[in-house]
A and B are shown apart, each in its own frame.
Chain A
Amino acid sequence: MTIANASSPDRDEAQMIVAIVAGDWELYHSLIQPYELSVYRMAMSFVKDETEAEDVAQEAFLKAFHNLATFRGQSKFSTWLISITLNEARRRLRRQSMVRMESLDDPPEEGGGVSPALLRDWREIPSEALERWEVRALLQGAIEKLSPIYREVVVLRDIEELSVEETAGALGISISSVKIRLHRARTMLQKELAPKLKLAIPKKRRWLSWC
């Protein structure tokens, strides 16, 4: 389930929000239910530690509740929730980075083209390969290695499956910046992962199952 398709058409979220702000606070549990995985996943792609990601997710849901009265419906609730989660994750990241003495605020965005890993052929890796923890760890590691500005677009566009326009809206950047970052991020993922996945998944596995 992605945040892009979490809300079903028969859910009237605007109505639910009005009721919650008016005092039906228990309804908040139902409002956020479709977004539990997305918010956690977004947090997890930033803070790298399960416990901390869970904490970020809880804080984001609490902040969203406390600020619900300020939500005016100018965007979708999911997009608004994404911004809150991103801010919370960035806040943690900044706190950690101060300890590590590195700046996350102005990573080099322009310049330095990224080249893909050159391969002569590619054998499709089936999603069953994800049953293996080392394949999951490779993918998680590659996403974590991206700098935040690239990680954000990959998480929103390719994992949460928002449109390019929605991604731009959630991040407060232009559509062309989303496209440029997305291009670089995807190339970096291919460069990092293609050779490793090729090695991790041998050509023939006639008698071994994936698990």
Chain B
Amino acid sequence: MVLECKHVWDYISEFLDDSLPPETRELVQKHLETCEICSAILDSTRNILILTADDRVFELPAGYSQRLHARLAQEIHPANNRPEKPTQDQD
């Protein structure tokens, strides 16, 4: 069985996750060895996912952590709240 490009595109995501059944994976692999378009699609998709996952894409704003803990300290202080007694947003 020979796969057409269109069908290979449908398998790219699972190919990257290594979750294709072995026989399908082999067919896709064979196609990729001879098809420069499909292998460029695979390479670019993999590359884009690696870039997307990089911590630099969505960085924490300066002071985020301090502001978060300051707000938590203010709102979860036992004088104001207890975990088992949810309060409604007041502000």
Contacts and interface: CB of A to CB of B under 8 A. Distances in A.
B45 A1 contact: no
Contacts, number: 149
B2 interface: no
A187 B84 contact: no
A159 interface: yes
A189 B14 contact: no
Contacts of B47: 122, 124-125
Contacts of B9: 115-116, 187
A182 B14 CA distance: 9
Interface in A87-138: 115-122, 124-125, 127, 129-131, 135-136
B1 interface: no
Contact of A186 (B37, B49, B78, B86): B49
Contacts of B48: 139, 186, 189-190, 193-194, 197
Contacts of B49: 158, 186, 189
Nearest to B77: A25
A130 B45 contact: no
Chain A: number of interface residues, binned into ranges: 35 or more
A108 to B, nearest CB: 18
B71 A140 contact: no
B44 A36 contact: no
A25 B78 CA distance: 7
Chain B: number of interface residues, binned into ranges: 35 or more
Contacts of B87: 66
A169 to B, nearest CB: 17
Nearest to B63: A54
Contacts of B19: 164, 179
A127 B52 contact: no
A130 B56 CA distance: 7
13 contacts: A28-B72, A29-B73, A54-B67, A61-B68, A62-B71, A62-B76, A66-B87, A119-B44, A122-B43, A124-B47, A130-B51, A131-B56, A154-B52
The 9 residue pairs across chains A and B that have the minimum distance between CB atoms? A183-B13, A69-B84, A119-B40, A66-B86, A122-B43, A194-B44, A122-B40, A130-B56, A41-B58
Interface of A: 1-2, 20-21, 23, 25, 28-29, 32, 36-37, 40-41, 44-45, 50, 54, 57-58, 61-62, 65-69, 115-122, 124-125, 127, 129-131, 135-136, 139-140, 143, 154, 158-159, 161, 164, 179, 182-183, 186-187, 189-190, 193-194, 197
